[in-house]
A and B are shown apart, each in its own frame.
Chain A
Amino acid sequence: MNTLIAITGLGVLCLLFEIFNFRKGIIPFTIVGLLATLALTVNDYGTNASFYNNMIVVNNFSVTFSSLFIVLTIFLVALSHNFYESHPTKISDFIAIKIFMLSGAVAMVSFGNLAMFFLGIEILSIALYILCASDRLNLKSNESGMKYFLMGSFASGFILFGICLVYGAMGSFDVIEISELSRSAELPDWFFIGILLLTIGMLFKIAVVPFHFWAPDVYEGAPALTTATMSTLAKVVAMATLFKLLSVLNADISESFQIVIVVLSIASMTVGNIMALRQVNVKRMLAFSGISHAGFMLMTLLTLTTSASTLLYYAAAYSISGIAAFAVILYVCKNRDNEDITNFHGLGKTNPLLAAVLTGALLSMGGIPIFSGFFAKLFLFNQTIEAGYLVLVIVAVVNSIISIGYYFKLILAMYGKEPNEEKTGTPILYYSVAVVAIVINIVIGLFPSLVLDLM
């Protein structure tokens, strides 16, 4: 609860800063504030409490995921400094929206009532619609915002319908009550339909095949930093929320529902990876990569009771490497009108450090050892095989192989081609974010227990 209050307070403060014309201080202040919030959140670790009519529930799940989101937001805010250099008047709006988005995200993993969940996801979504369209003079950005908005609202309708049916079945929005009621023998079928609709709505947000079509277009059109936000923060938030929803509502994951998850997971991995192969736009490529990672993360739903820590680890590994990758992408594509792979030509020569970071990030996403991405996949596969889904793991393995194909396309471009032009200026924040992110990635790779044992 403290976290949520602190975050909203921080968001409001950001807006006040603008009023008092204190723009320069916004980003440092926000980062410090977020760090303080992080400390506050971490402080809650180990407690189990619920606040205000069980609207907000604090437990290890919410604390760890909230901390992850806060860390990601710190990175994203840090990246904002250079990214919004040309929009000095709007910086407070951008930062405030990001902070509020974080509050939505936190609400999504610590909700105790479906109302909080719904509001959280709407805050997150609306903030993202805005950020996507925020480059208001750029048609691509507009288009991306519009697409995301239309389809997101459409999906929201399904989520709302799902909540409605759950309510219809249970007569309550409180997850504890719902989960208690769901254990009783007499269970209206509406409940399952509701859960199903909720799940499908969330699958849309996570971008799982066949609900994934929006992701590449939106990622491509959105400003790069927003893409970073969507592909790291939004994705893991949605995934964690789906996980929490299904586990908290004590949804009976029947065999056929598991088969649906397996099929969706396979489809997501395969479609995401195969489609990514021929992409020239890096953001688009990472969108498809995100779709495939969503497929991977879906596997955790098969072992709901035991795989929270695996999901946390996977989400952390994936999003942190995503941050590192996007820090480099932002640097490279600054002042360019597209994010094509050609922009990365010769980065290994002109800027070996960032090239190395991007390489590390991509290797991590591809699942190469010592990077945390490898361990994430390892734990995931381990869990899934233990649950008896060997075929799924084999498909996942095949997909990991395919994914190397496009991750290496980018690495090849960096090291195998001659640079087009010299890049000037060394935005220190991009550097530090990139390096810190990759270091965190490697550290949790070398010591996975740091994250794994949190839950």
Chain B
Amino acid sequence: MDVSFILIILLIGAFATYFSGDKLAPKVALLFGLVSLGFSVYLLSLFNAGQNIDFISAWITKPSISFSLKADGLSLAMLLLNTALTPLIIFSAFGNEFRNAKNFYALILFMSFAMAGTFLAADGLLYYIFWELALIPIYFIALIWGNGDAEERKKAVVKFFIYTLAGSLFMLTAFIYLYGKAGSFLIEDLYKLELSSQEQLWIFLAFFLAYAIKIPIIPFHTWQAKVYQKAPTVGTMLLSGIMLKMGLYSVIRWQLPLAPSAAKEYMTIFIALGIAGVIYGSIVALRQKDLKKLLAYSSLAHVGLIAAGTYTLNLDGLRGAVLQMIAHGFVVVGLFFVAEIIYRRYETREISEMGGIRSQSPKFTSMFMILVLASVALPSTFNFIGEFTVLYSLSQIGIIWAILGGTTIILGAYYMLRMFQHVMLGETNAKLFKDVTTNETIVLVSIITFLLFFGIYPKPITDLITPSLENIITIINR
């Protein structure tokens, strides 16, 4: 048993979904999502038992590219994030009717496949291929099943695609350059490279462009809000919940260890960019009229903080970043699902057209509230653990970073509560709002349970990721 099975399961799942027809597709997709979740948990247990679950096989001889998948704690944590969110996201779509459902669900599984591959790949080129592959399904998901004006949506989606592709092609160039130096794409060979600081800087910047766009870090975020707004909620969830974690994961896995001296030298600049994202995203989020756009900017703020955490290059920063990635993945999926739930009933995402929902739907309100609180990192939610650790690591670099980054807890509370107030509170809305259905409850409750449980007891996750992060820190400091 090795990690390649998880990819096979997801890929088979995608095809099975495609061939199962529109009626059956959602269920088949969910089944495969759950199987992959189960299997990844099984892999985790194997890993914890000390078994080797890596998969390595030769692929292309000249230039030498191997099909190498490796799982350490970090990869497994991200894999689990992926496989846990995928069935949730699939299940969350059950309340919607999609044209050509089989294609839709197959694309979701395919995307999950590509993302799992990205998290596991230990060969630079293989990693890049998965990285790009993940882009295609989301493009179609957003394009075909998106909402809003078709022309505008197309524009936004194409911009997104080209923009992210643009970034990653520079990463590809960097990889090829590294290959020229190392003669191999294997991550351990690339880690061994001794690059001059000039080379490192360029490599670092090439990677940075790819990741800054994907994550996104300001000022590379301009694609984000529009795409989040226009994509179907499932797409937004995939994007914000998992896909942008790919960027952050890659920073830790690839960018920092490959160009450590550049990372060290220009650390403050990149931290500053991350922090600027926090403040900027929060401030812009204040005055958003569209619920999904607001959440998009909140996402921008949160990932800015995570990115700042990764660039601190200390264990706390990385650990906090990973924890926060997972937490943010869950909470943002939950929040977008909330937006979807409202949309299902009111057919609008304009905040101004909402309000007065609370009195009609106590269950929904409570769950939404908890998600909002998790999003603002209230202690005892998982998000707090991550945010605290990241801020702590920032304070090690300079207390001013912690203070600036910490404004997120003020501004975050401001825009989230403001949004909550205008969406949920106030006089009872004239339009009827049915309280959450069982399906919706299951999704939200699973997310909330996860967030609260690990908010109190994050040790399993911390223990999983810490050794691999320590390893990476050692490589960075080599």
Q: A368-B136, A382-B63 are in contact. Are A401 and B176 (CB under 8 A)?
A: no
Does B158 touch A at the CB level, under 8 Å? yes
Choose among B61, B158, B170 the residue that contacts A397 (Cβ–Cβ < 8 A).
Answer: B170
Is B165 located at the chain interface by the 8 A CB criterion? yes
Q: Quick check: A416 and B180 within 8 Å, CB to CB?
A: no
Q: Which residues of B contact A386 (CB under 8 A)?
A: 180
What's the nearest-Cβ distance from chain B to residue A357, in Å?
Answer: 14
* Residue A408 at the chain B interface, CB threshold 8 Å: yes
Chain A residues within 8 Å of B346, by CB:
none
Q: A149: which B residues are within 8 A, CB to CB?
A: none
- Mark interface residues in B33-66 (1 if CB within 8 Å of A CB, else 0): 0000000000000000000000000001111000
Q: Out of B133, B136, B140, which one reaches A415, CB within 8 Å?
A: B140
Residues of B158-196 whose CB lies within 8 A of A = 158, 161-162, 165-166, 169-170, 172-173, 176-177, 179-180
Contact B172 A412 (CB under 8 A): no
Indicate if the CB atoms of B172 and A378 lie closer than 8 Å.
yes
Assess whether B60 is in contact with A370, with CB atoms less than 8 Å apart.
no
Which of A382, A400, A404, A415 is the one whose CB lies under 8 Å from B161?
A404
Question: Is B132 positioned at the interface, with any CB of A under 8 Å from its CB?
Answer: yes
Q: Per a CB cutoff under 8 Å, which of B60, B140, B162 touches A404?
A: B162
| A25 contacts B by Cβ under 8 Å | no
Residues of B within 8 A of A404 (CB): 161-162, 165
Q: Which residues of A contact B103 (CB under 8 A)?
A: 352
B144 touching A348, Cβ below 8 Å: yes
| Known interface pairs A369-B128, A369-B133, A379-B63; A394-B150 also in contact (CB < 8 Å) | no
Selected A-B contacts with CB under 8 Å, 30 pairs: A309-B62, A352-B103, A368-B135, A369-B129, A374-B129, A374-B132, A375-B60, A378-B63, A378-B172, A379-B63, A385-B176, A390-B177, A394-B173, A397-B170, A397-B173, A398-B166, A400-B165, A400-B169, A401-B162, A401-B166, A412-B143, A412-B154, A415-B140, A415-B144, A416-B143, A416-B144, A416-B154, A417-B150, A452-B61, A453-B62
Contact B176 A381 (CB under 8 A): yes
Residue of B nearest to A366 (CB): B165
Inter-chain contacts of A419 with B (CB < 8 A): none
Within 8 A of B (CB), among A344-389: 348, 352, 363, 367-370, 374-375, 378-379, 381-382, 385-386
A398 to B163, CA, bound (A): 11
> Given A386-B180, A405-B158, A415-B143, do A368 and B61 touch, yes or no (CB 8 Å)?
no
Instruction: State whether the Cβ of B301 lies closer than 8 Å to any Cβ in chain A.
Output: no
Q: Are B133 and A416 in contact (CB under 8 A)?
A: no
Secondary structure dominating the interface of B: helix
CB pair B154–A449 under 8 Å, yes or no, is no
Over the window 394-423 of chain A, the binary record of Cβ atoms lying under 8 Å from chain B Cβ atoms (1 yes, 0 no) is 100110110011001100100111000000
Bound CA span A397–B162, Å: 12
A408–B156 CA distance with the chains assembled, in angstroms: 12
When C-beta atoms are compared, the residue in chain B nearest to A379 turns out to be B63
Nearest 3 pairs between A and B by C-beta?
A369-B129, A401-B166, A369-B132
A448 interface hit (Cβ, 8 Å): yes
Closest-CB distance, A387 to chain B (whole angstroms) = 10
Known: A370-B133, A381-B172, A417-B150. A453 touches B128 (CB 8 A): no
Tell me whether A393 and B176 are in contact in the complex, defined as CB-CB below 8 angstroms, given that A363-B136, A401-B162, A453-B62 are known contacts. yes
- Bound-state CA distance A264–B172 (Å) is 23
B126-139 vs A, Cβ < 8 Å mask (1 yes, 0 no): 00111011011000
A449 touches which one: B60, B176, B180 (CB < 8 A)?
Answer: B60
B136 proximity list for chain A (CB < 8 A): 363, 368
Q: How far does the Cβ of A193 sit from chain B's closest Cβ, in whole Å?
A: 35
Return chain B residues, CB-CB under 8 Å to A400.
165, 169
Known: A385-B177, A397-B173, A412-B158. A378 touches B125 (CB 8 A): yes
CB contact list, B401-456 vs A, under 8 A? none
Q: Is the CB of B153 closer than 8 A to any CB of chain A?
A: yes
With A369-B133, A378-B176 as contacts: A452 and B62 at CB distance below 8 Å: yes
| Interface 1/0 per residue, A186-207 and B, CB below 8 Å | 0000000000000000000000
* 11 extra interface residue pairs, beta carbon distance < 8 Å, beyond A352-B100, A378-B125, A394-B170: A369-B133, A370-B129, A378-B63, A382-B176, A397-B170, A397-B173, A401-B166, A409-B158, A415-B140, A417-B150, A452-B61
Centre residue among A367, A405, A416, A448 by max chain B CB count within 10 A:
A416
Q: A278 vs B165: C-alpha distance in the bound complex, in angstroms?
A: 20
In the complex with contacts A369-B133, A412-B154, A393-B173 CB distance below 8 A: yes
* Interchain CA distance A154-B172 in the complex, whole Å: 41
CB neighbours (8 Å) of A385 from chain B are 173, 176-177, 180
- For the complex, give the distance between the alpha carbons of A349 and B169 in Å: 31
Q: Give the complex CA separation of A327 and B42 in angstroms.
A: 46
- Check if A416 sits within 8 Å of B150, measured CB to CB: yes
Residues of B within 8 A of A453 (CB): 61-62
| Closest chain B residue, CB of each to CB of A348 | B144
Chain A residue contacts of B169, Cβ below 8 A: 367, 397, 400-401
Cβ of B418 to closest chain A Cβ, rounded Å: 35
Closest CB-CB distance, A408 to chain B, in whole Å? 5
In the complex, the chain B residue whose C-beta lies closest to that of A387 is B180
Complex Cα distance, B399 from A193, in Å, reads 69
Residues of B within 8 A of A352 (CB): 100, 103
A431 to chain B, nearest CB (A): 18
CB distance from B130 to the nearest CB of A (A): 8
Q: Are B150 and A408 in contact (CB under 8 A)?
A: no
Which of chain B's residues have a CB closer than 8 A to the CB of A381?
172-173, 176
List A284-341 residues whose CB lies under 8 Å from chain B.
Answer: 309
**B residues near A401, Cβ cutoff 8 Å:** 162, 165-166, 169
Task: From B100, B162, B166, B180, give the contact of A382 (CB < 8 A).
Answer: B180
Residues in A neighbouring B132, C-beta threshold 8 A: 368-369, 374
The CA of A378 and the CA of B128, in the complex, are separated in Å by 11
Tell me, rounded to whole Å, the shortest Cβ–Cβ distance linking A348 to chain B: 7
Chain B residues whose CB sits within 8 angstroms of the CB of A452 once the complex forms: 60-62
Q: Which residues of A contact B140 (CB under 8 A)?
A: 415
Report Cα–Cα, A369/B59, bound state, in Å.
15
- Least CB distance, A450 to chain B, in whole angstroms: 10
Q: How far is the CA of A370 from the CA of B125 in the complex (A)?
A: 11
Q: How far is the CA of A409 from the CA of B162 in the complex (A)?
A: 11
Which listed residue, A374, A417, A449, touches B61 by the CB 8 Å rule?
Answer: A449
Given contacts A348-B144, A404-B161, contact A397 B172 (CB under 8 A): yes
Residues of A contacting B153 in the complex (Cβ-Cβ under 8 angstroms): 416
Closest to B170 in A: A397
Pair A382/B173 contact, Cβ less than 8 Å: no
How far, in angstroms, from A316 to B326 measured CA to CA in the complex? 43
